[in-house]
């Protein structure tokens, strides 16, 4: 059955449509227009959202868990709980993000996630895993954060190939420290597999970061966090990431990981087309204060801070809140902020033909928002999620 959705506004997000009419058939958008130009079909199910705005569903390319569960659990029920939690906050697609752990634990998690993704079955009420983000073990000891030092290993094409095979070819991104021996060759190999190499957890200098970009690295992981500090005479990895237009970059805009004024500077440097919002959320997201797991670590959560032995360990941020924070921190409009959580991550992943935009041919995943950016409803393939 066809569905028609109407609202006060639509952020496509590259365009604003007042009084939109969005026609959906078989889970995909088939037509978009305004009520001034199009009539609401009478033979279709009608979902109307007066006083609210439509936007594409959010895409989180760095999320470890939520609702008390972690993607490293390699458990179907845990993954379902995480995906339902994300859908309630407007996220309709995501990269399941692993952490540094003993190799056999990473392989087990990759196998489970790869099979879940490979089934390619649209689950009602749940965000869709679009692939895997391998965060660790190819990272720097100096900037490892809370990643266990005993489980870090040098990057190599052989190790990446083993992870790739275990994931059934579903790894879409890996975080890598470019200064580690073997990193450049591994970045080259990742490119042949269609994996985006993201610079992060790194003490690289400027030249080392530039060499990685030349080799094919095209993104940066939670910019500023777990990176060599920026110095005006020694710009380091941050100087390369912020100055190079060929690199997109993501940021945890929770006001904890990065000061609001620095979020504003980041947005000015990368601009509306190259900045991406992430959550880096752990199992504690959506849960009360307490102790929760991140991989094999037990993390203490109080307020907006997640800490392991006094160091930040992920976040409890949700992507809808990150959008609102951009509006607050940088005085961006809702339409401008939405792009960083929809269109940009979809383009980065090469999924722009399917996601990140409300346009004909795209999957009908949308979020319904108030003017302040709060989620009123989430729509998955044209169907409402029960929030």
The neighbouring-strand residues paired with 311 are: 308
**From 250, 280, 320, 377, active-site residue:** 280
Crossing angle, helix 103-119 and helix 76-88, to 10 degrees?
A: 70
Residue 374 dihedral angles phi and psi, to the nearest 5°: -85, 145
Please tell me what DSSP assigns to residue 90.
Answer: T
Helix (H) or strand (E) run with residue 83 in it: helix 76-88
94, 61 Cβ separation under 8 angstroms = yes
Dihedral sign, CA of 14, 17, 18, 20? negative
SS3 call for 211: helix
Please confirm, yes or no, whether 377 is among the known catalytic residues.
Answer: no
In angstroms, the Cα distances linking 143 to 15, 158, 363 are: 40, 24, 39
The residues, any chain, with a CB within 8 Å of residue 98's CB and separated by 6 or more, are 64, 71, 72, 106, 109, 110, 113, 132, 133, 134, 135, 136, 295
In angstroms, the Cα distances linking 124 to 38, 94, 170, 191 are: 30, 15, 22, 33
SS3 call for 323: helix
156, 190 Cβ separation under 8 angstroms = no
The CA-based diameter of the chain, rounded to the nearest angstrom, is: 66
Tokens representing 57 are 């569903």
Please tell me what DSSP assigns to residue 281.
Answer: B
Crossing angle, helix 206-215 and helix 236-243, to 10 degrees?
A: 50
**Which of the residues are catalytic?**
280
């Amino acid at each position: 059955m066809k569905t028609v959705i109407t609202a006060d506004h639509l952020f496509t997000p590259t365009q604003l449509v007042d009084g939109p009419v969005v026609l959906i058939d078989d889970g995909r958008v088939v037509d978009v227009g305004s009520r001034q130009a199009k009539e609401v079909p009478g033979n279709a199910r009608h979902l109307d959202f007066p006083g609210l705005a439509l936007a594409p569903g959010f895409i989180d390319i760095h999320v470890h868990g939520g609702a008390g569960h972690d993607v490293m659990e390699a458990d179907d029920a845990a993954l379902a709980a995480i995906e339902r939690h994300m859908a309630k906050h407007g996220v309709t697609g995501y990269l399941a993000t692993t952490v540094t752990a003993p190799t056999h634990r990473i392989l087990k998690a990759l196998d489970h996630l790869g099979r879940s993704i490979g089934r390619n079955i649209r689950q009602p009420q749940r965000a869709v895993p679009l692939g895997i983000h391998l965060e660790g073990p190819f990272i720097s000891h100096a900037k490892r954060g809370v990643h266990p030092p005993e489980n870090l290993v040098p990057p190599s094409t052989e190790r990446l190939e083993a992870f790739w095979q275990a994931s059934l070819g579903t790894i879409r991104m890996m975080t890598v420290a470019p200064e580690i021996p073997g990193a450049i060759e591994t970045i080259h190999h990742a490119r042949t597999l269609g994996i985006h190499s993201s610079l992060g957890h790194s003490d690289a200098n400027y030249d080392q970061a530039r060499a990685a970009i030349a080799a094919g690295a095209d993104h940066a992981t939670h910019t500023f966090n777990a990176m060599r500090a920026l110095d005006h005479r020694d710009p380091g990895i941050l100087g390369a990431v912020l100055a190079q237009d060929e690199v997109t970059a993501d940021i945890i805009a929770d006001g904890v990981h990065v000061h609001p004024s620095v979020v504003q500077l980041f947005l000015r440097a990368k601009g509306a087309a190259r900045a991406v919002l992430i959550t880096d959320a752990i199992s504690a997201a959506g849960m009360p204060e307490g102790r929760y797991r991140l991989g094999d670590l037990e993390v203490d959560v109080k307020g907006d801070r997640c800490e392991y032995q006094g160091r930040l360990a992920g976040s409890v941020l949700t992507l809808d809140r990150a959008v609102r924070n951009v509006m607050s921190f940088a005085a961006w409009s809702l339409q401008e902020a939405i792009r960083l959580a929809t269109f940009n991550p979809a383009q980065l992943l090469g999924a722009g033909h399917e996601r990140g935009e409300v346009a004909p041919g795209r999957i009908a995943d949308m979020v319904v928002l108030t003017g302040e950016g709060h989620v009123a409803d989430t729509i998955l393939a044209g169907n409402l999620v029960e929030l």
